[in-house]
Amino acid sequence: MTSASPKTIQIFLPSGEPTGIRVAEITTRIVQLIEVPRKRLPEFFKMAESTQVGVYYLVAVPEDGSASQVYIGQTGDLRARLAKHDKTKDFWERVLVLVSRAHSLTPTHALFLEWLSIDTARKVGRYGDLNGNAGSRPHTPAPLEAECREMFETAQTLLATLGHPLFVPLPQPDARTTETELFYCRSGDVVGRGLFTNEGFVVLAGSVGRRQHVPSIQGTSDESFREKLISDGVMKIDGDTVVFARDHLFRSPSTAAVALLGRTANGWVTWKDHAGKTLDAVKRQAIGA
């Protein structure tokens, strides 16, 4: 995030349902973000915002912990563009739409915000990118670019607040990371390194796992989940092993361990710190104590 200052965010539920359409905004900013579950598109199309110029994010977040995916676009008519995507793109589960509360977003704003969103999402690498060739940076006058970057900062905050941290880098070990914050998964050729975070467990790039699945998980969701990580490019095959090509966030330590070991595992005891203490002892038992 570009700013760590305190913020007040207002979330409006047009239908009164927390799982329905949600409209998020920082009341002092001119843009708002509208989250629309795919099945609620007809309701969104009745809203005035659906005819505006906007930037949109089609997202899918698999329950199995494999790579989330995003397609980013912009349009002068959200209703028409999203109706087309509903017919032609299968992968997405919900769309997040960035519009101006003051109806001040122009096609020039939208083009730059689309480019900036794609460029930032690729650099962060949290979500699989489905945009293909996104084109070059559009020419944008300096005053308008400044407006766009302020809008983008707001979009970063609102997306993360609604559970889609597209532009928030995963935690990385650095000079301030103590050895006790790193955890290891070791078994034969398996050498995994990871961090326990507020969002889940991050397996770090370069971690090495077992290529083969044990017989007990063949034909199960665990096998499909590991194969999906390979097809998504999160893990790359290297002989009898798989290597994490990039950092990847898992929802639980156990899912992270399954990805590396190719078998069911309790990640709370499989992941250990440099002294051999389990993740459970370091994090959960320490809280109890």
Q: Which residues pair with 95 in a beta bridge?
A: 36, 58
pLDDT per 10-residue tile (average), the chain, 289 residues: 74 95 95 97 96 96 83 96 96 97 94 96 91 85 95 96 92 64 92 92 96 92 92 93 94 94 95 93 73
Q: Whole-model pTM?
A: 0.80
Q: Name the H helices within the chain.
A: 41-45, 78-88, 107-124, 142-161, 221-231, 253-261, 267-270, 279, 285-288
| Residue 22: predicted pLDDT | 98
**The pairing of beta strand 201-203 with beta strand 22-26:** unpaired
Residue 152 and residue 201: Cα distance in Å, rounded? 27
- What the block records as the tokens of 287 is 């809280």
| Residue 289: predicted pLDDT | 53
| Residue 62: predicted pLDDT | 84
| Residue 193: predicted pLDDT | 95
Kindly report the length of the chain. Answer: 289
- What the block records as the tokens of 180 is 């006790």
| Residue 1: predicted pLDDT | 42
Residue 82: exposure state from Cβ atoms within 10 A (0-12, 13-18, ≥19): buried
Domain regions of the chain by residue span = 9-161, 179-288
Count of beta carbons in the 10 Å neighbourhood of residue 137? 12
